[in-house]
Amino acid sequence: AAAAQSYRFIPAYSLENQYTLEYVSSLSVAENAAIFKNYLKAAGFKTSSSVEKADEVFYYGTKDNTDLSIVIVKRDDAVKVTASYLVR
C-alpha cells in the first residue's frame, strides 16, 4: 500500500518526536488488526488501551520511552490504517 499521508511533528523546544503514517490497505480490518496486535506483542509493547469492533480497531502500546498507536477503520468499502509513533 502506498502512503496516503506521512508526517513528522516536533513541538518547539521539545525533545519529543512524533511520526505518523496513514494508508489505505487492501487487507480487511481483522487482517490488519491481527498483524498489528502480533507486532505489538512481539516487539515488547505493553498494550495499555484497545478497542476491537468489526469496522474499527484501536491499539495503544508503550515501550520504554516510546508510544505506538494504531487506528484501523473501514469506511465506504476502504480500510484506512493510521500508525503514530511517539519518541520521548
DSSP string of the chain, one letter each residue: --EEEEEEE--TT-S-EEEEEEEEESS-HHHHHHHHHHHHHHTT-EEEEEEE-SSEEEEEEEETTEEEEEEEEEETTEEEEEEEEEE-
Q: What is the value of pTM for the model shown? A: 0.87
Instruction: Cell numbers for 10, please give them.
Output: 516536533
What tens digit of pLDDT does each residue of 30-56 get? Answer: 999 999 999 999 999 999 999 999 999
Residue position matching grid coordinates 511520526: 19
Mean pLDDT of 64-81: 97
